[in-house]
Structure formats: C-alpha cells, structure tokens
Amino acid sequence: EPEVTQTPSHQVTQMGQEVILRCVPISNHLYFYWYRQILGQKVEFLVSFYNNEISEKSEIFDDQFSVERPDGSNFTLKIRSTKLEDSAMYFCASSYVRTSAYEQYFGPGTRLTVT
Amino acid sequence: ELKVEQNPLFLSMQEEKNYTIYCNYSTTSDRLYWYRQDPGKSLESLFVLLSNGAVKQEGRLMASLDTKARLSTLHITAAVHDLSATYFCAVDNRSNDMRFGAGTRLTVKP
C-alpha cells in the first residue's frame, strides 16, 4: 500500500541553524501539507501546497518557514533559523484532492530537537 | 476562526465498558475526520464523515456527525486494551487545511 515517507526520523540541530525536512508524498497525490505537534499537544496546521504554490498557511508559518517541491517526488519544509520553540514532531501529509472527499495520509513524522 | 473542542481530554476506562468522546466545532463544516495516534507514532485515519447524519463503524468504534449541532461523537463499545491511544477529531476548514482538537488520551485498564 502506498505511503507517505519522511526523512530524517529524528533531527537534532542547534538554535539558529537551518534545517530541511523531507517528505515523499504518495505518488498520485496532488495536495501536500505540513503539520507540527509539540510534545503532548495537538496537531497544528502549518501549510498546504498545490500546483507548485502555497494554498494556505497558518499564523505559525512565518518568514522563517518555506516549502518547496524541488522535483517530482520530494516535498520539503525549511526552517531558516531554528528556535527552541520549533522543537516538535513535524508531519507531512498528502491527499489526492482537497480534503472534501479524501482524507489526508500522514507520514511517520520527523522529530526536530533544537538545542 | 474555526475552533475544535474535544472532551474529555483524558479518559480511563475499564475493559468491556462503553464510553463516548465528543468533538464540537465552531463554524459550519460537513467534513470531519477521526484519527488515532499511538505514542511516538503518526496519525492513523479511522473515519471520514462527509455529511449530516453520517455514521460509520469499525470494530468497537463508531463515529457519527451532526452538522446542525456541530458535533461528532466517537463511541467505544466494550473497550479492550488495544484501543488505548490518543484520538483526535479534525474538521475541514474549507480553506485547504484541517483543524484538530486537542485529543483524547484513552487508557483502557483490565
């Protein structure tokens, strides 16, 4: 069964460093998403991406964040200058169409630890 | 702004008992999702509810949606230990994103 994959599974970085989190969505999916979950808290929407551009973004997704689909398979989230409060689990998700009829499939997550 | 509230946040159940988790949301939406998350794991889709009155069942779990009341319920029947996990409801924000509830951490004890 097709699945969303994410790398790395765990990333440790120092405050102020740039990180890139990678995701490979399900191959025929058209919509891509990033969410984050601070330990023990709820899942928060960051950004959605369709047709090579951002569709929606939340207030969390400030200028420190960017997304890119550099090729036909990868979808990346970049944090330019990490802060301690960026420590969280980051989930990538994809869907074939908007969530109106099809659910989003989530990847296993990348645990980001900023020290 | 769409707000999604779940209750209870923590639920400790004995095996074979029944219980219901509630999910209220603040603005009109007819798309609601239930996810399960095991500790340190990703989100597993349980149910997709797309219309008023929708009811879906899988094993000991049954989910329903009342769009007029802006309420969804996840009912657990005859709980077993394997159901211990955190359950999230999520509501389609009609802006291409989902808003999640805070989650209900369910513990089923023998």
Q: Report pLDDT for B27.
A: 84
CATH C-level class of A5-109? mainly beta
B24-42 pLDDT, tens per residue?
A: 999 887 789 999 999 888 9
Judge whether A48 is closer than 8 Å to chain B, CB to CB. Answer: yes
What kind and span of H or E run contains B62? Answer: strand B61-66
d(CA A86, CA A25): 23
Q: Per-residue pLDDT for A98 more than 70?
A: no
By the 8 A CB rule, do A56 and A47 touch? yes
- pLDDT value of position A65: 97
- Work out the number of other CB atoms within 10 angstroms of the CB of residue B102: 16
Asked if A91's CB is within 8 angstroms of B42's CB, the reply is yes
**What is the distance between the alpha carbons of residues B95 and A99, in angstroms, rounded to a whole number?**
10
CATH architecture under which domain B4-109 falls: Sandwich (2.60)
Q: What is the pLDDT of residue A97?
A: 74
A9 φ, ψ to 5°? -80, -30
pLDDT, tens digit, 9 for 90 and up, residues A48-91 = 999 899 988 999 999 999 999 988 789 999 999 999 999 999 99
Contacts with A109 from chain B: Cβ below 8 Å: 41-42
**Which residues have C-beta within 8 Å of that of residue A72, sequence separation ≥ 6?**
none
pLDDT tens-digit series, residues A104-115:
889 999 999 999
Longest dimension (CA), chain B: 43
Report whether pLDDT(A101) > 60.
no
Question: For an interface test with A, which of B42, B56, B91 has the most A Cβ atoms less than 10 Å from its Cβ?
Answer: B42
Checking if the pLDDT of A11 tops 80, the result is yes
